[in-house]
A and B are shown apart, each in its own frame.
Chain A
Amino acid sequence: MSDSADDLAGLSAFAETARHAVAACVPLSMRDRAALLAADGLLGILAPEEAGGLALDIRFAAPVMAAAGAGLLGYPLAESLLLAAAFGNHPEGTAIAAGERIATIAWSGQVSTQSGRLSGTLGRAPLAGEADLLLVDTTDGAALIALDAPGVAVLPAFGFDLEAPEHEVTLKDVTPLATLTADATARLRDDALLLWASAIEGAADACLAMTVEHVSTREQFGKTLVSFQALRHALARQKLAVEHIRAALARHDALAARGASEAALAHRVTFAAAVRFGAASVESALQLHGGMGFTWDVPIHRYLRRVRAVEAQGNAAALHRGLALDLLHANS
């Protein structure tokens, strides 16, 4: 298994590169962020080599997404990784991996197609206001459109995530640049679940570290907060939550590596676990910061916003319904 030693080295190198890049992105414009992330090879991890990518499997995107979650990256990274791979044989895919075009995805809504032209209202498109390209759901898969094409209107941002605000987008008779089959679209959505889980893991772990720091230095009743057992136990639960997400991700990778049929369930379980345990963990981090936790300046709320935004983008509610229905069908 010399492969796995190489893999480990590769994964930790990615993690290191990604941490630096995410930190360096903070003061930059969206265009400059695209250029920097691309220069570090982070946008084309999943894209084929013909498209300038690294053609690696989804495991290698995990540390990058975790770094993006930990550093609250304001860039449609999951979307770029997925679209550069899905359109790897198309010039737009190459441009996305190269950071020349900024691409995002409308995670809710579906357009109708008439004579090859797309119309409808889409939602949950992170950073669509600053992107060039948008993937939209169609009745038979998905289509990539240019956001500056005639008939496209990006509505003002709203939504939870302050670093990656969501937009609604309306399309009226828009001609797509390229399309994806239903199968390719389903694969993309499955892969998104894993990328989001990694982002949540990074966010929850960052909040845990901030909280440990906070309780180790702040004093009340003449003692540091960390000396109070109630708070130590709450921190232990935050750690347990982070470890749940890591374990679920690792199990998915192990199942996928041996081609096990349970890998399909593991995609959904990993996202569901990340959303449930990740949100609880970040909420606990906020609680342990006391009144400071409710201020604008302490960034825990930004992480909570991101986790909840991602929960909605992945439609966790529907995913849970699906898990329950599968359980019922398996026992009918």
Chain B
Amino acid sequence: MDTDTLPLRPGLTGEDFRAHVRAWLAANVPEGFLADQPGYRTPDFAACRQWEAAMHRGGLAGMTWPVEYGGHGLSLREHLIANQEIGRLALPESVNSLGKELAGPIIMAVGNEEQKLRFLRPLLEMREIWCQGFSEPNAGSDLAGLRTRATWDGSVWRVTGQKIWTSGAMNAQRCLLLARTGPLEDRHRGLALFAMKMDTPGVTIRPLRQLDGKESFAEVFIDDVEIAAEDALGAPDEGWSAAVRVLSIERATNRMYRSWRFENELNHLVRACRADATLASLINSGEWHRRLAETVVDIEVLKAHVEPVVERLVAGESIGDRGSLMKLHWSEAHQRFAALALELVEQAPPGASAAVQAARQRFQNVYLRARAETIYAGTTEIQLGIIGDRILKLPRGR
């Protein structure tokens, strides 16, 4: 896919940048890639990897990252614009989202110059895929209980422990690993971040089968694995605090395309229903109008949370923990929509058209995967805790 056309011309911003993104997508989206179009085939990992590398060359990934690290040196405004246009199309999810949304921003915040040069460009060019090694069997939402231990032996870090629910571990070259360098009583202090190579001896990956039948997350066993000093990110005792700082912004800025993809799904649902006589008569009846209208409202409210974040960050203002409001809303609203979509498309009669069957397949997947959305990136309960503690500033109680 190195034959992609329309490279990003330097200096494009605002609506000119939008025009470029639209033209680039129109010229470069591969055949069969869009889940709401006829002829859709689920793209495999290799195809997704090639596609994302092409998107980066076209200026549709790494918008805000500095040019010297492989980014495009644009502002968050262009980040939002690219996300809006990507969201409007039913494109596959990133296979390197943890690299782009988590590892990259953390390296940018705490990494040294050598690390930035070594890690960031390969990640955007999809030569290095990252996974995230935070959760453990006994430390899911509560990472303070994390037990994977890193010990400095005078020449290298030696790490032993176990990670779980590690998305994309099988395809990853690097893992953003959180490990304990101090005693367990230190809780969040004494946690360090590493860029662990996944092919290091001692790393064993055991895929876990997800509820949708896919094996896209895994257990990762780490048995006396050596990590070179140059792959430690930030000071040993500031790993966690740096990660938390980065995450509170990332929660608000990553996958900004969600509201527009959500809208794409809603429009696809309605089109698919209207293409079938049985579903069309259902969807035209008043019984479904309220939930459809509430989905429209949910999507617009999500946009209302997402768009102002950009201007506030561009103006140098803090967005505090507003990312938790957004995360809670999109995950729950998307689950409501997914249930509605499934309920509707599953009323298709036997022998429904290929387009309706394709919609059934898409919305079955959307429904199942949406169950994860209130769990990952901080569960609903964690987000409610953050909103109560840090936004509403509720007293602790006595």
Is B385 positioned at the interface, with any CB of A under 8 Å from its CB?
A: yes
Determine which residue in B300, B303, B304, B325 has the highest number of CB atoms from chain A within 10 A of its CB, and name it.
Answer: B304
Min distance, Cβ A235 to any Cβ of chain B, angstroms:
6
**In the complex, what distance in Å separates the CA atom of A323 from the CA atom of B307?**
22
Is A162 positioned at the interface, with any CB of B under 8 Å from its CB?
A: no
Min distance, Cβ A217 to any Cβ of chain B, angstroms:
10
Question: B289, A227: Cβ atoms under 8 Å?
Answer: no
Closest residue of A by beta carbon distance from B381: A233
Is A226 positioned at the interface, with any CB of B under 8 Å from its CB?
A: yes
The interface size of chain B toward A, counting residues with CB under 8 Å, comes to 40
Is B235 positioned at the interface, with any CB of A under 8 Å from its CB?
A: no
**In the complex, what distance in Å separates the CA atom of A93 from the CA atom of B396?**
52
Partner of B305, one of A216, A247, A265, A327: A247
Residues of B within 8 A of A320 (CB): 289-290, 293-294
Is B358 positioned at the interface, with any CB of A under 8 Å from its CB?
A: no
Min distance, Cβ A162 to any Cβ of chain B, angstroms:
28
Min distance, Cβ A254 to any Cβ of chain B, angstroms:
7
Is B270 positioned at the interface, with any CB of A under 8 Å from its CB?
A: yes
Min distance, Cβ A308 to any Cβ of chain B, angstroms:
16
Q: A226-B397, A328-B283, A330-B267 are in contact. Are A251 and B297 (CB under 8 A)?
A: no
**In the complex, what distance in Å separates the CA atom of A323 from the CA atom of B290?**
9
Is B339 positioned at the interface, with any CB of A under 8 Å from its CB?
A: no
Min distance, Cβ A8 to any Cβ of chain B, angstroms:
13
Binding stretch for chain A, among B41-49, B86-94, B182-190, B387-395: B387-395
Is B328 positioned at the interface, with any CB of A under 8 Å from its CB?
A: yes
Number of CB contacts from chain A to chain B under 8 A: 123
**In the complex, what distance in Å separates the CA atom of A328 from the CA atom of B295?**
13
Is A232 positioned at the interface, with any CB of B under 8 Å from its CB?
A: yes
Question: B384, A233: Cβ atoms under 8 Å?
Answer: yes
Is A272 positioned at the interface, with any CB of B under 8 Å from its CB?
A: yes
Question: A235, B388: Cβ atoms under 8 Å?
Answer: yes
**In the complex, what distance in Å separates the CA atom of A332 from the CA atom of B301?**
24
Residues of B within 8 A of A322 (CB): 293
Closest residue of A by beta carbon distance from B322: A243
Q: A269-B296, A272-B293, A323-B296 are in contact. Are A233 and B304 (CB under 8 A)?
A: no
Question: A331, B391: Cβ atoms under 8 Å?
Answer: no
Residues of B within 8 A of A250 (CB): 304, 308
Min distance, Cβ B79 to any Cβ of chain A, angstroms:
18
What would 5 A/B residue contacts be, using CB atoms closer than 8 Å? A229-B385, A232-B394, A240-B329, A327-B292, A328-B283
Residues of B at under 8 Å CB distance from A? 266-267, 270-271, 274, 283-284, 286, 288-290, 292-294, 296-297, 300-301, 303-305, 307-308, 325, 328-329, 381, 383-385, 387-389, 391-392, 394-398
Closest 7 CB pairs of A and B: A227-B397, A324-B289, A251-B304, A323-B293, A247-B304, A236-B387, A320-B293
